[in-house]
Structure 1
């Protein structure tokens, strides 16, 4: 299994002992009965050297733990789509794609929404296979759709789903998959002639660059996103992009730019009582969400007023946004640290860790480790 489990473990930077620890913790959180630490270490060595077959039981732990598919875990080549056998098969596929009904496209959108809900409550790592299959079905339909009237609705659905899949991959620590899925989202958005989905994909993709240490390039990308047919962008999307710019500027040490961007986001956000735009359902942004985001930015620039925004957000955030609450506790920990209130900082960091473990968020675990090192 050289190309499977071992390669994934090494890419994550985990020793076999670390993997044993993570497997035990994963099982304990879910009340699963697994082998002892000593036995697991033997199993891992034997799985990686091909001396013991990886059972479905343990694969079911390792897949969500690493955020990978079953094929990737087992080191098997991904199955290829069956090749069209002559014109008859090709035309059958084209006819099927051309006759795809509006109800089928709505089914794609409904499935994306279900996966979005599961993601924010339970985390992304366990959804890799489901999301991969979901994207593959839409890509297949789009590949054989000929006329723009047939392609646009499928491409719009694919753009939204791909952006979600990319963010899930980033949260699970699968950086290259995240990048590729953002590229897929951008191409689908262009096929759909949707500047909204294109700008959103660019804005989220900037966070991959930021996490990789290219903060200045990330800021440039999110600023380019704001110029992408800006006259066709909704006010909510423009506010979202401005808030994203603020967070990225804060991370790049561009403190004045960060403050200006978050103020611009506040002025742009429509006060219509809505959370999402009907033609742009991939983002959630209302006054409560922006208050949380503002607190995040102000905490990162060392502004003492961050505390008020963050505590307001903590009391109003929907309980289903589990990962977002983990981020809130990280922000509060950082804000308390800036004020020298280390006991309060530790308390919030502990809450953040519990929620990050619950969702399996590699991205937030990394942030928690960095903050822990400052206490």
Structure 2
């Protein structure tokens, strides 16, 4: 009698019976209370839904993967111009769709391209989360990116996700541990990967060395980055679309690192980078002005520092960057 009443919605399932039925039917509490409790019905519905999802995932071919990658590229462009705060829901939906496609793809030939797209999208989502101050979400996105990179058998994407994840540790006040992670990323890549990615990894190592108080290691890593960067104005890595790095970008990064060390040469590098800065990289430009504040403060040039502080604050507010605003506030306290 109870089963009939449960099926017809005339009686709710008590917690006592729910405990027995969950063990008998092998379902969660939510599945039990939301769906029909009959074992045969539950099993059939579950397999039908599973097979439907598998069929949908298997229909994700090259054209669909390109559409996913195009969406990531659009979100990347919007992020660098507008900031991450306006893109949280769009990014979450994009990651969910990619993760769903990967979870139900069966054969490696179907999984690898989706996993690669997910690895790239997840590192972007993670960096956006860092910028928004959502550090736990950033960490989880990096873990997802690393799993996807392993699934895709893509060591470049794995190394990139590991090295970016080190910034979460640095922001949390553990730069030495972050440095270890960057160096592990370099070891995982070995002699493979593009020269542009290797230069990027050396520059990330230099920045983490500066935060960890290792000036000699920092300068060696900067030299290694300069030696690895390909010549010419091209900044995009065709094999690693998350990487934007050329001599101009590296000059800005070098200035940032030297400013962290309190090196007077930082000002020259940073002004050179400001002259050639891509105006579409709005958040990066906010960081560049903040670097100049730090560099001028190291030289006790307070008027110049104030000028760049105003620009940094304006651009950080424009992009909604919690990370940059926090840095601006810390620099402001030193003036």
Matched, 1:280 2:240: yes
- Cα distance in 1 between the residues matched to 2:191 and 2:226: 19
Match of 2:46 in 1: 86
Q: Secondary structure at the match of 2:81?
A: helix
Matched, 1:306 2:266: yes
Determine which of 64, 67, 86 is the counterpart of 1:104. 64
Report how far residue 301 of structure 1 moved: 0.9
CA displacement, residues 220-265 of structure 1 (integer Å, 9 cap, x when unaligned): 0111111113222211111001000111111111111111111110
Distance of aligned partners of 1:272 and 1:192 in 2 relative to their CA distance in 1, 3 Å threshold? farther
- Cα distance in 2 between the residues matched to 1:209 and 1:301: 19
- Cα distance in 2 between the residues matched to 1:322 and 1:140: 32
Count of residues in correspondence between the two structures: 294
Match of 2:255 in 1: 295
TM-score where L is the length of structure 2? 0.86
Structure 1 residue runs of 5 or longer lacking an equivalent are 1-81
Report how far residue 272 of structure 1 moved: 4.8
Match of 1:146 in 2: 106
Q: Which runs of structure 1 show a deviation greater than 6 angstroms over 4 or more consecutive aligned residues?
A: none
Match of 2:126 in 1: 166
Q: Is the 8 A contact 2:283 2:319 kept in 1?
A: yes
Determine which of 353, 366, 374 is the counterpart of 2:313. 353
Report how far residue 303 of structure 1 moved: 1.4
Structure 2 residue runs of 5 or longer lacking an equivalent are 1-34, 36-41
- Cα distance in 2 between the residues matched to 1:264 and 1:252: 18
Q: Secondary structure at the match of 1:320?
A: coil
Matched, 1:237 2:197: yes
Q: Secondary structure at the match of 1:282?
A: strand
| Greater CA drift, 270-279 or 324-333 | 270-279
- Cα distance in 2 between the residues matched to 1:318 and 1:109: 23
Q: Is the 8 A contact 2:194 2:239 kept in 1?
A: no
CA displacement, residues 22-43 of structure 1 (integer Å, 9 cap, x when unaligned): xxxxxxxxxxxxxxxxxxxxxx
- Cα distance in 2 between the residues matched to 1:231 and 1:89: 45
CA displacement, residues 27-77 of structure 1 (integer Å, 9 cap, x when unaligned): xxxxxxxxxxxxxxxxxxxxxxxxxxxxxxxxxxxxxxxxxxxxxxxxxxx
Report how far residue 88 of structure 1 moved: 2.6
Determine which of 105, 127, 139 is the counterpart of 1:179. 139
Larger Rg: 2
Report how far residue 277 of structure 1 moved: 2.0
RMSD (CA atoms): 1.4
- Cα distance in 2 between the residues matched to 1:364 and 1:86: 47
Match of 2:327 in 1: 367
Match of 2:302 in 1: 342
Q: Secondary structure at the match of 2:240?
A: coil
